[in-house]
Amino acid sequence: MAAASPSELLSSVFGFDAFRPGQAEIVEAVTAGENTLAIMPTGGGKSLCFQLPALCRDGVTVVISPLIALMRDQVRALRAAGVAAGALTSGNTPEETDAVFEALDRGALKLLYMAPERLASGAAVNMLRRVGVTLIAVDEAHCVSQWGHDFRPDYLRIGELREALNAPLAAFTATADEETRAEIVNRLFDGIQPRTFLHGFDRPNIHLAFEAKNTPRTQILNFAAARKGRSGIVYCGTRAKTETLGQALREAGHSACHYHGGMDADDRRAVEHRFQTEDGLIVVATVAFGMGVDKPDIRWVAHADLPKSIESYYQEIGRAGRDGAPAETLTLYGPDDIRLRRTQIDEGLAPPERKVADHGRLNALLGLAESLGCRRKVLLAYFGDEAEPCGHCDLCERPPETFDGTTAVRKALSAMLRTGEYFGTGHLIEVLLGNETDKVRARNHDSLPTFGVGKEYGRKEWQAIFRQMMGHDLVRPDPERHGALRMTEPARPILRGEASITLRKDTIAKAKDRPRVRALVSEEDAPLLSALKAKRRALAEAAGVPAYVVFPDRTLIEMAQQRPATLDDMARINGIGATKLERYGATFLEVITGASEEMHPARRRLAGRESGDVFDRLQEIQLHLARGDDGAGKYLSCPHTTLRQIAERRPGSLDDMARIPGMGAQKVERFGPAFLAALENLS
């Protein structure tokens, strides 16, 4: 296997015809033993960029990964593809650990997964040196950064491991801004710049949508109802909300459960297991349900509350559609979310410069939420990518109605300043509407010049205007004044009449008016896709593995669309390598065609390859010459394995032909010239 090229292994082991954009050059650098840092989008195929080089190189590749669930899933998927992989984790049984060490001692393991915490033991480093580790791969490398949201102190030992083993290191992450990248280089590569690949952050298969909160529970229930039976995640800002919303989804007939950091460890593991193995389960979770989620066929992610930053948003929606098939997102937000996130930053323990940066990250997310144009373009611009309007986010599909909000914003700012910046939205709206409430009269705010100047808008419209002002960072809640709004510097030019602002008219879209849920396949192919999924579920349950370990959604979708009629056709479907074709090909073919196809294992190894056609031609020749040219000779035939080797090796002479096992002198004399002629015609 080590002699094969990455592109050959990509096809034969993993079943893919071609690399995704950016993968080939990273694989080439890692295979060549260069120190490498790759920043790729979530779901962009990072794992393949160290798994393929591991198969191409001599020795063992150690993969440092942050979560046990993540490691176990990757090991399971690799083994299903016929790759020798193992993990040493605290979740192993003694038997599992013994089996891994035994395979290492035999030199039979190519990939060894470990948590960074194991590096604390000097014995671990000695063991890795002894078993012949020749490459270190670091997954989720942003965990090394103290600026990052997933900091893991044990990641700091990886740089020492690299020096101790004198092995090249390849680090991978999806979320690393410039600050975090600099720290990764410093911590893992001793400040020496590695070969760096920064690939686009676009995930074109993910549909982006935001909605202002308006009975948020109903909004989430409606979104889930339209996608019933598809795996999804709902992120909530509080633990309590995960429980109540999970219960509401169950009462609405969904298979749903909740997950948060306050749960017992066994209960959390049970939810993780259910999510990996059950089709169509919804997990309602805090961000504690995060980095370990490596399920490729999550079809949707909803945020019941606004995430804390644009990086968090990008990472959380990135858990959808990792298989490349269509996925959808919905993010709800409102003024209370903005107030909460501002307060969390202001009251946190971070140094002042960090708080400024965190407000900037939140501003970027709010700018995305209140955007007037293509969301994908705004999101990618934040990460330094240029893009044309995507044509299929919610704003491209349904451009928002807008109005010149300059006068409304100036009135709102004036009301804030004339009341001393000591009040929140509710009181300010009463002043603008001219409502003589007890609170307004008690403070003589009914005598202010701004009293009643906003009657052209209703209460809901003013709420939307204030929310958008908060979203554009024109006003912020002041934690020292119990959340009262105060004006920020960017608002001054608008107040002075030196700048204008365009706002959106808030329209609450009715469910029936929304764009239709994106179908995974055409109406014609949907019944076949359901049958394929049912077969996959039965096989996965029998094997005790997650459904996607058998085949991910994307592979089943391609089967349903292409409808392969033979095992050769099946082998050309993306995601079907030699091992999976051997294990599952005939079973799924029977679902598609209604009949089984028998194929000798030696021929099956060539399925979907040009060598398969050569094999078939050689078999025809052999059958024709089995009793010689005149049909009266002694019966001779070549074993299937011999024909396979001829088809793969393509010998150029009778002498070369004679060196192939199973080809004695008689067979060379009988079949050799005709075989050579056929090979010549096919080349």
User: Which has the closest alpha carbon to 164: 187, 133, 209?
Assistant: 133
User: What does the pLDDT average to over 44-50?
Assistant: 88
**Residue 593 belongs to a domain:** yes
User: What does the pLDDT average to over 660-681?
Assistant: 88
The residue among 401 and 152 whose pLDDT is bigger is: 401
Question: What is the count of structural domains for the chain?
Answer: 5
Picking from 353, 378, 397, the residue at the C-terminal end of a domain is 397
Q: Which residues of 111-149 are buried (b: 16+ CB within 10 A; e: fewer)?
A: bbbbbbbbbeeeebbebbeebebbbbbbbbbbbbbeebb
Say which amino acid occupies 78: L
pLDDT tens column, 280-308: 899 999 987 865 566 888 999 999 999 98
**Residue 484 belongs to a domain:** yes
Give the distance, in angstroms, between the CA of residue 501 and the centroid of all CA atoms in the same chain.
36
Q: State the pairing for strand pair 327-333/210-212.
A: parallel
Out of 70-84, 410-424, 653-667, give the one with best mean pLDDT: 410-424
User: What does the pLDDT average to over 264-283?
Assistant: 87
Do 29 and 131 have their domain in common?
yes
**Residue 491 belongs to a domain:** yes
**Residue 520 belongs to a domain:** no
Mapped onto helix, strand or coil, the DSSP state of residue 679 is helix
614 pLDDT more than 90: no
CA distance 188 to 657: 52
Do 388 and 415 have their domain in common?
no
Picking from 378, 397, 416, the residue at the C-terminal end of a domain is 397
**Mean pLDDT score across all residues of the chain:** 88
The pair of three-digit structure tokens given for residue 350, joined into one six-digit string: 């971070």
**CATH label of the domain that carries residue 466:** 1.10.10.10
Do 387 and 416 have their domain in common?
no
CA distance 375 to 368: 6
440 pLDDT more than 90: yes
CA distance 423 to 439: 11
DSSP 8-state code for residue 635: -
Do 18 and 148 have their domain in common?
yes
The residue among 165 and 20 whose pLDDT is bigger is: 165
pLDDT of residue 543: 87
pLDDT of residue 526: 83
CA angle, residues 286, 172, 272, in degrees to nearest 5: 30
**Residue 400 class from Cβ within 10 Å (0-12 exposed, 13-18 middle, 19+ buried)?**
middle
The residue among 117 and 307 whose pLDDT is bigger is: 307
- Percent of the chain whose predicted confidence (pLDDT) is above 90: 48
Confidence of residue 72 (pLDDT cuts 50, 70, 90): confident
Picking from 578, 598, 618, the residue at the C-terminal end of a domain is 598
pLDDT of residue 147: 60
pLDDT of residue 620: 87
**CATH label of the domain that carries residue 577:** 1.10.150.80
pLDDT of residue 507: 58
Confidence of residue 629 (pLDDT cuts 50, 70, 90): confident
Q: In 288-415, which ranges are E strands?
A: 300-303, 327-333, 402-404
Do 591 and 635 have their domain in common?
no
CA distance 226 to 31: 45
Contacts of 518 (CB under 8 A, 6+ apart): 207, 326, 328
Yes or no: say if 203 and 322 are a contact pair by the CB < 8 Å rule: no
pLDDT of residue 173: 87
Do 479 and 536 have their domain in common?
no
- Of 58-62, 266-270, 393-397, the poorest mean pLDDT is in 266-270
Query: What is the signed CA dihedral for 53, 58, 59, 61, rounded to 10 degrees?
Result: -10
**Residue 70 belongs to a domain:** yes
pLDDT tens column, 366-386: 999 999 999 999 999 888 788
DSSP labels, 481-526: GTTEEEE-GGGHHHHTTS---EEEPP----GGGSPPPPPSS-TTTH
H or E segment to which residue 173 belongs: strand 169-173
pLDDT tens column, 85-112: 999 988 788 899 999 999 999 999 999 9
Between helix 158-165 and helix 122-130 the angle, nearest 10°, is 40
Do 331 and 423 have their domain in common?
no
- Percent of the chain whose predicted confidence (pLDDT) is above 70: 95
User: What does the pLDDT average to over 23-39?
Assistant: 94
Do 645 and 583 have their domain in common?
no
User: What does the pLDDT average to over 652-676?
Assistant: 90
Yes or no: say if 438 and 456 are a contact pair by the CB < 8 Å rule: no
pLDDT of residue 514: 47
Contacts of 586 (CB under 8 A, 6+ apart): 567, 596, 597, 598, 599
pLDDT tens column, 238-253: 999 999 999 999 999 9
Do 128 and 210 have their domain in common?
no
Q: In 493-645, which ranges are E strands?
A: 502-504
**CATH label of the domain that carries residue 17:** 3.40.50.300
Do 294 and 146 have their domain in common?
no
CA distance 342 to 362: 8
The pair of three-digit structure tokens given for residue 251, joined into one six-digit string: 């009462």
CA distance 556 to 245: 31
pLDDT tens column, 472-500: 999 998 878 887 899 999 999 999 999 99
Q: State the pairing for strand pair 402-404/502-504.
A: antiparallel
pLDDT of residue 509: 44
In terms of residue numbers, what domain contains 487?
402-506
pLDDT of residue 551: 92
Yes or no: say if 207 and 326 are a contact pair by the CB < 8 Å rule: yes
**Residue 518 belongs to a domain:** no
pLDDT tens column, 403-438: 999 999 999 999 999 999 999 999 999 999 999 999
pLDDT of residue 1: 37
DSSP 8-state code for residue 282: E
User: What does the pLDDT average to over 552-564?
Assistant: 91
User: What does the pLDDT average to over 674-678?
Assistant: 89
User: What does the pLDDT average to over 113-125?
Assistant: 86
pLDDT tens column, 498-519: 999 999 987 544 433 444 567 7
Kindly report the length of the chain: 683
User: What does the pLDDT average to over 614-628?
Assistant: 87
**Residue 605 belongs to a domain:** no
Yes or no: say if 58 and 134 are a contact pair by the CB < 8 Å rule: yes
Partner residues linked to 88 by β-bridges = 114
**Residue 1 belongs to a domain:** no
The pair of three-digit structure tokens given for residue 75, joined into one six-digit string: 């090991």
Do 181 and 228 have their domain in common?
no
Confidence of residue 616 (pLDDT cuts 50, 70, 90): confident
CA distance 314 to 635: 67
Yes or no: say if 479 and 517 are a contact pair by the CB < 8 Å rule: no
Do 76 and 215 have their domain in common?
no
pLDDT tens column, 139-193: 988 888 866 556 778 888 898 889 989 999 999 987 767 778 888 999 999 999 9
pLDDT of residue 109: 94
Say which amino acid occupies 390: C
635 pLDDT more than 90: no
